[in-house]
Amino acid sequence: MGGHFGQAGSTLWLMLVYLTLPHLTCTDVCPSSCRCNSDGAVKCVGFTITDIPKHLPLHTYLLQLNGTNMNIINDQSLANKTLLLRFSLSHSHLHTIHPQAFQVAPQLKSLKLSSNDLSTLPARVLSPLTSLEQLHLDGNQLETIKPDMFEGLDGLLELDLSRNKLTSLASDVFDGLTNLTFLNLGRNSIKIASLPPKVFWSLRNLKILTLSFNRLQAVPERSFYNMPKLSQLTIYNNPLLSLPDQLMGYMPEMKIFYLFGTNLTTVPGNLFANMSGLLSLNLHLNDKLRELPSDLFCCLPNLKNLSLRANDLHYLHPQLLSSLTTLKILLLNNNKLKSLAENIFQSLRQLLTINLKNNHLQTLPGDIFLSNTVLRELTLSDNPWDCTCSIRGFARWIRQNEHVVTDKDDVMCHSPSYQILRTIGSLDDEEFNFCELQSYSQPLHTISTSVQTTVVPTTSTLPMTTSTLPMTTHTTTQGATQEVTVLTTTQPTKSTTSDFTTSQAATTALSSETPSNGHISPPFYDLLVVEQGPEFVHHSLHRGWVYVWLLPSNTTLAGFLMFCHILLVATGLLLILVAMYGMYRLNKTMDELKVDSKNTLG
Ligand SMILES: *[C@@H]1O[C@H](CO)[C@@H](O)[C@H](O)[C@H]1NC(C)=O
Ligand SMILES: *[C@@H]1O[C@H](CO)[C@@H](O)[C@H](O)[C@H]1NC(C)=O
Ligand SMILES: *[C@@H]1O[C@H](CO)[C@@H](O)[C@H](O)[C@H]1NC(C)=O
Ligand SMILES: *[C@@H]1O[C@H](CO)[C@@H](O)[C@H](O)[C@H]1NC(C)=O
Ligand SMILES: *[C@@H]1O[C@H](CO)[C@@H](O)[C@H](O)[C@H]1NC(C)=O
Ligand SMILES: *[C@@H]1O[C@H](CO)[C@@H](O)[C@H](O)[C@H]1NC(C)=O
């Protein structure tokens, strides 16, 4: 009981002291419009303030003026405040500083003149402030900084020049600021030509450098060398078009790196090679970034978060992520990825989250997440999933891992038409039984040339049909290829659908070119017919591969394609005729001119 009473009593006593102390020490000197704190902090707000109050509590070490009507700091404004260490005047339309304004206050450690109207600073106005550690000039109208502006401020730790109108920097402007740890140049108008190559080189203690929201289209080579303590570098929201091959020096302390809002289409493969300590990398929102070098993430043994979202990525190299063994979060959403290699996530054994939303994925390999045993969140919606045979394995995986797919009710079939609006998770394995029949059981027959001569000429006149094959016939095509490959045992085996499609696209002409080492018996590749298959079939041999080209049995489509072909040929002929007529006219005019000139000379 007694203990409780004593505790309550002492609390009450402390409260009394706390309430009366400021009044006892300050009431007589604390100016109106100001609030004076017992430990020496004074804050003054309001438009009635036009100069620094003359009488402040004796021990004032911190003075903050905000939203005042003080437009000028004159030579006596800071006089007789020998204990003042930190001075700030903000949001006050300050436009003029007397050249000797700080001679009366050389003891200042912190000077903040943020959000004012300063457009120039008198030469060497800051030179008396040899103890200055913190200088904020952000939110003014400064267009240039004189090269000697920071001379003598050897102890400066923090410099904020953001939100000004700087267009360039003198190459030696930061020389001597060897103790600087924080430099903000963000939200200015600094252009490429105006970033001198070695402007940051003396800042060997820098920890935070901000260059975001400028107009940099390029950064000089080795700009960020010699900064071994850098832990935060922001260069986002610059219209960067390219980065040099040598840019980042050794910076093992770098923990979080942002590179977004640029016009980069790719980045150098070694961009992050010197950032071995990186935990989080945000290389996102670069709407022109289309390609990433395969070794880009080679040397990030500690990376936990990787955001590549909202770029313009169409393709990822199968080995791109293979070194990121500690990765936990991977964001790939809002890109244009069409497919992913089966082994792309194989080394990411600690991965918890993958976002693949809003890409161009039609299917994924059934085993793609096999090694990601701790995966908890997978996002897959807003992709044009193609629910034909090729999705069977992945559909099976989704059914077995439903709890992992965060948006499973929105992961819907986009094609074929009879599956639209079904979720992939609702596809039964039995529904795909026909796939096996289609790809393996359908017999293939080679038929003697004489029987089929009527079919081949029809298709060989239609070379462009190869690119218009509907997806659904691919399986058959592949089946046919495999069958063919078995028969031609001396040829390498072609196994995956995607490989086939690529080669198919690459081979534009229907050549029946014989391979240099040609071991195939000629009767075989002269003609190939798939029984019960599409009506028009043609195959060709290219570099040792047998390609089978199919036309759908749909006669309307075939007719349409034929029509297009005829139209193209006719247009070509017409153009040739027009060109010939043009030549004829030109010739005639030349002749006339010759005659004319002869007449004139005559
Ligand atoms: C200073 O005043 C501006 C408006 O005049 C206000 O937005 C800002 O929050 C104030 N800052 C401080 C530190 O009081
Ligand atoms: C500063 O103090 C000196 C002497 O105490 C006095 O003469 C002078 O007027 C003061 N200046 C200001 C600006 O208060
Ligand atoms: C720079 O920092 C070092 C270490 O903190 C310190 O010893 C040195 O005095 C500082 N230099 C200046 C000019 O303040
Ligand atoms: C990494 O930093 C070192 C030292 O600063 C430098 O010599 C090297 O070229 C840098 N490597 C890359 C890939 O930029
Ligand atoms: C960067 O991209 C933006 C948006 O596409 C464009 O307006 C701007 O002109 C580009 N800048 C450069 C330097 O190419
Ligand atoms: C990684 O991202 C998660 C979720 O956004 C966040 O909580 C975490 O702090 C990030 N880790 C690092 C190292 O930035």
**DSSP state letters, 155-200:** T--EEE--SS------TTTTTT-TT--EEE--SS--BGGGS-TTTT
Within a domain: residue 478? Answer: yes
CA distance 545 to 511: 11
Task: Note the pLDDT of residue 480.
Answer: 37
Return the DSSP state at 68.
-
> Would you place residue 514 in the very low, low, confident or very high pLDDT band (cuts 50, 70, 90)?
very low
Q: Which residue's alpha carbon is nearest to atom 8 within ligand 5?
A: 239
Say whether both 493 and 579 belong to one domain.
Answer: no
> Would you place residue 213 in the very low, low, confident or very high pLDDT band (cuts 50, 70, 90)?
very high
Q: Do residues 134 and 107 touch, judged by C-beta distance below 8 A?
A: no
Give distance in angstroms: CA of 41 to centre of ligand 3.
27
Say whether both 546 and 559 belong to one domain.
Answer: no
> Would you place residue 347 in the very low, low, confident or very high pLDDT band (cuts 50, 70, 90)?
very high
Residue with tokens 């993958």: 354
Residue 520 pLDDT greater than 70, yes or no: no
Give distance in angstroms: CA of 300 to centre of ligand 4.
15
Residue 124 belongs to what domain range? Answer: 28-165
> 165 in ligand 6 pocket by Cβ < 6 Å?
no
Cβ-count burial of 458 within 10 angstroms (0-12 exposed, 13-18 middle, 19+ buried)?
middle
Identify the residues whose C-beta falls under 6 Å from ligand 2: 54, 76, 79-80
Candidate from 179, 202, 206 with most ligand 3 atoms within 8 A of CB, to mutate: 179
Among 121, 137, 165, where does a domain finish? 165
Nearest atom (ligand 4) to Cα of 222: 14
List C-alpha distances in Å: 399 to 385, 396, 406, 409, 580: 15, 5, 13, 12, 65
Task: Note the pLDDT of residue 537.
Answer: 47
Say whether both 36 and 90 belong to one domain.
Answer: yes
Within a domain: residue 201? Answer: no
> 263 in ligand 5 pocket by Cβ < 6 Å?
yes
CA-closest candidate to residue 494, choices 443, 451, 554, 545: 545
CA-closest candidate to residue 62, choices 114, 115, 128, 112: 112
> Would you place residue 24 in the very low, low, confident or very high pLDDT band (cuts 50, 70, 90)?
very low
Q: Which residue's alpha carbon is nearest to atom 12 within ligand 5?
A: 239
> 274 in ligand 4 pocket by Cβ < 6 Å?
yes
Q: Which residue's alpha carbon is nearest to atom 5 within ligand 1?
A: 67
CA distance 472 to 139: 61
Q: Which residue's alpha carbon is nearest to atom 11 within ligand 1?
A: 66
Q: Which residue's alpha carbon is nearest to atom 2 within ligand 1?
A: 67
Within a domain: residue 91? Answer: yes
> 280 in ligand 6 pocket by Cβ < 6 Å?
yes
Say whether both 516 and 573 belong to one domain.
Answer: no
pTM score, two decimals? 0.70
Nearest atom (ligand 5) to Cα of 263: 1
The alpha carbon of residue 190 and the mean position of all alpha carbons in its chain are separated, in whole angstroms, by 22
List C-alpha distances in Å: 325 to 321, 351, 378, 498: 8, 8, 18, 27
CA-closest candidate to residue 181, choices 223, 140, 135: 135
Say whether both 471 and 582 belong to one domain.
Answer: no
Residue 307's SS3 state is: strand
Q: What's the whole-number mean pLDDT along residues 311-333?
A: 97
Number of domain units in the chain? 3
Give distance in angstroms: CA of 222 to centre of ligand 4.
9
Residue with tokens 């289609």: 438
Say whether both 574 and 506 belong to one domain.
Answer: no
Give distance in angstroms: CA of 65 to centre of ligand 1.
9
Within a domain: residue 342? Answer: no
Length of the chain: 602
Residue 475 pLDDT greater than 50, yes or no: no
Candidate from 305, 324, 351 with most ligand 6 atoms within 8 A of CB, to mutate: 305
Nearest atom (ligand 1) to Cα of 64: 13
Say whether both 493 and 545 belong to one domain.
Answer: yes
Q: Do residues 421 and 413 touch, judged by C-beta distance below 8 A?
A: yes
Say whether both 542 and 571 belong to one domain.
Answer: no
Within a domain: residue 486? Answer: yes
> What mean pLDDT, rounded, does the chain reach?
81
CA distance 283 to 307: 6
Instruction: Give the CATH number for residue 55.
Output: 3.80.10.10
CA distance 239 to 337: 24
Q: What percent of the chain has pLDDT over 70?
A: 75
Give distance in angstroms: CA of 302 to centre of ligand 6.
13
Instruction: Name the H helices within 322-410.
Output: 392-400
Within a domain: residue 568? Answer: yes
Say whether both 134 and 38 belong to one domain.
Answer: yes
The two three-digit tokens of residue 94, written as one number: 């300050």
> 66 in ligand 1 pocket by Cβ < 6 Å?
yes
Nearest bound ligand to the CA of residue 279:
6
CA distance 302 to 325: 8
Nearest atom (ligand 4) to Cα of 228: 5
Within a domain: residue 542? Answer: yes
Say whether both 491 and 561 belong to one domain.
Answer: no
Among 141, 165, 189, where does a domain finish? 165
Q: Do residues 86 and 109 touch, judged by C-beta distance below 8 A?
A: yes
Q: Do residues 200 and 225 touch, judged by C-beta distance below 8 A?
A: no
> 242 in ligand 5 pocket by Cβ < 6 Å?
no
Give distance in angstroms: CA of 217 to centre of ligand 6.
30
Residue 23 pLDDT greater than 90, yes or no: no
Cβ-count burial of 229 within 10 angstroms (0-12 exposed, 13-18 middle, 19+ buried)?
middle
Upstream peptide bond of 53 is cis (omega within 30 degrees of 0): no
Task: Note the pLDDT of residue 597.
Answer: 80
Q: Which residue's alpha carbon is nearest to atom 12 within ligand 1?
A: 66
Task: Note the pLDDT of residue 242.
Answer: 94
CA distance 139 to 165: 9
CA distance 577 to 575: 5
CB environment 35-57: b (16+ within 10 A), e (fewer): ebebebebebeeeebeebbeebb
Within a domain: residue 121? Answer: yes
Among 165, 194, 226, where does a domain finish? 165
CA-closest candidate to residue 359, choices 313, 328, 326, 307: 313
Between 466 and 122, the more confident residue is 122
Candidate from 263, 286, 287, 311 with most ligand 5 atoms within 8 A of CB, to mutate: 263
Task: Note the pLDDT of residue 558.
Answer: 76
> 319 in ligand 6 pocket by Cβ < 6 Å?
no
> 244 in ligand 3 pocket by Cβ < 6 Å?
no
List C-alpha distances in Å: 104 to 68, 79, 84: 22, 5, 11
Candidate from 246, 247, 298 with most ligand 4 atoms within 8 A of CB, to mutate: 246
Say whether both 582 and 474 belong to one domain.
Answer: no
Say whether both 574 and 476 belong to one domain.
Answer: no
